[in-house]
């Protein structure tokens, strides 16, 4: 069983990751490169106009995220992939690794729930995974481009983790339980992080044009949905095949 889970996770993640990495190359990557031109302009601002705060510059009350800053650490500048083939390769590797993680998460959840693993059910679970780990958290913290204003990283990470886990649990209870009060509690739990509110900067200024930021947020969510669904489809196709093969042996 463990070997089968690992094999399906790796193969499904590789297939889905390669497909989505190609989509990223022609959709979100050009927008990131465009946003980095605004980020470079921020790094050129005189010290009297801006102050450093970790990997951000502080303009008044707004913290502008420098996702690709080049601040030195000791005597060495921070390393980053070079633009072109090297950057594309590293981005693709990260996308494939993410897809492998999604596949393992889907398999673990479906096996723990004693769910039959086929194409239809795996796609349903993948859609729920996108809702829990992509769309619902993004309603509070949308995908950000370099040069965008943002709250403290630790606060955003904590809110995202809590929201994703609570949403995943709430969806599971709502879809698997028939007791009305449990379903009502699940809906309340899903809404709770949004009622509390996601962390945002006091002055949400940004040097990135709103049209580019909105386009990037929409494309990022579409890419993440494609990654979840492609991974779910691959899992639903590969798991029965590996199961039949194991039974034949």
Is the pLDDT assigned to residue 179 strictly greater than 50?
A: yes
The strand order across the sheet containing 56-59 reads 51-53, 56-59, 62-65
Residue 208 maps to a domain = yes
Is 116 within a domain?
Answer: yes
- 148 token code pair: 């965008």
Q: Please give the Cα distance from 128 to 87 (Å, whole number).
A: 31
Q: What is the CA radius of gyration of the chain?
A: 21
Cβ atoms of residues 186 and 173 within 8 Å? yes
- Give the helix ranges, DSSP H, for the chain: 2-26, 28-43, 85-112, 119-130, 136-138, 153-176, 180-196, 210-248
Round the average pLDDT of the chain to a whole number and report it.
Answer: 82
Is 206 part of a structural domain of the chain?
Answer: yes
Of 231, 206, 214, the closest CA to residue 13 belongs to 231
Q: Which residue range forms the structural domain that includes residue 30?
A: 2-151+200-248
pTM of the model: 0.79
Distance set, CA 218 to CA 67, 111, 145, 194 (Å): 19, 32, 12, 20
* pLDDT tens for each residue of 75-117: 445 556 666 677 788 889 999 999 999 999 999 999 999 999 9
Residue 184 in any domain: the answer is no
194, part of any domain: no
Looking up tokens 């990260």 gives 94
Mean pLDDT of 42-56: 48
Residue 47 has pLDDT above 60, yes or no: no
Q: Look at residue 52 in the predicted model and tell me its pLDDT.
A: 42
Task: Please state, in angstroms and rounded to a whole number, the distance separating the CA atoms of residues 152 and 157.
Answer: 9
Q: Is 184 exposed, middle or buried (0-12, 13-18, 19+ CB in 10 A)?
A: exposed
The DSSP bridge partners found for residue 65 are 56
User: Of all residues in the chain, what percent carry a pLDDT higher than 70?
Assistant: 78
Number of domains the chain contains: 1
**Nearest alpha carbon to residue 70 among 30, 39, 33:** 39
Is residue 62 situated within a structural domain? yes
Beta carbons within 8 Å of 175's beta carbon, 6+ residues apart: 128
- Residues with Cβ within 8 Å of residue 1, at least 6 apart in sequence: 111
pLDDT tens per residue, range 188-237: 999 999 998 888 877 666 777 778 888 999 999 999 999 999 999 999 99
Spatial contact of 109 and 25, defined as CB atoms under 8 Å apart: no
Residue 126 forms part of a structural domain: yes
Q: Is residue 183 part of a domain?
A: no
């Amino acid at each position: 069983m463990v070997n089968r889970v690992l094999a399906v996770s790796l193969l499904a993640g590789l297939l889905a990751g390669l497909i989505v990495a190609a989509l990223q190359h022609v959709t979100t990557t050009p927008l990131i490169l465009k946003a980095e031109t605004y980020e470079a302009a921020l790094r050129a601002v005189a010290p009297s106009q801006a102050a450093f705060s970790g990997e951000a510059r502080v303009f008044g009350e707004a913290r502008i995220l420098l996702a690709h800053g080049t601040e030195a650490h000791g005597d060495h500048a921070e390393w980053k992939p070079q633009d072109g083939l090297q950057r594309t390769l590293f981005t693709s590797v990260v996308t494939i690794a993410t897809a492998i993680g999604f596949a393992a998460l889907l398999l673990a959840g479906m096996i723990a729930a004693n769910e039959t693993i086929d194409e239809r059910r795996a796609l349903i679970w993948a859609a729920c995974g996108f809702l829990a780990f992509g769309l619902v958290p993004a309603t509070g913290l949308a995908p950000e481009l370099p040069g965008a204003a943002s709250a403290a990283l630790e606060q955003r990470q904590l809110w995202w983790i809590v929201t994703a886990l609570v949403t995943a649990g709430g969806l599971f209870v709502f879809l698997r339980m028939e007791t009305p009060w449990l379903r009502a509690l699940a809906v309340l739990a899903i809404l709770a992080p949004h009622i509390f509110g996601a962390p945002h900067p006091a002055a949400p200024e940004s040097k990135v044009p709103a049209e580019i930021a909105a386009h990037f947020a929409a494309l990022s969510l579409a890419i993440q949905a494609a990654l979840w669904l492609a991974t779910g489809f691959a899992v639903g196709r590969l798991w029965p095949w590996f199961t039949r093969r194991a039974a034949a042996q």
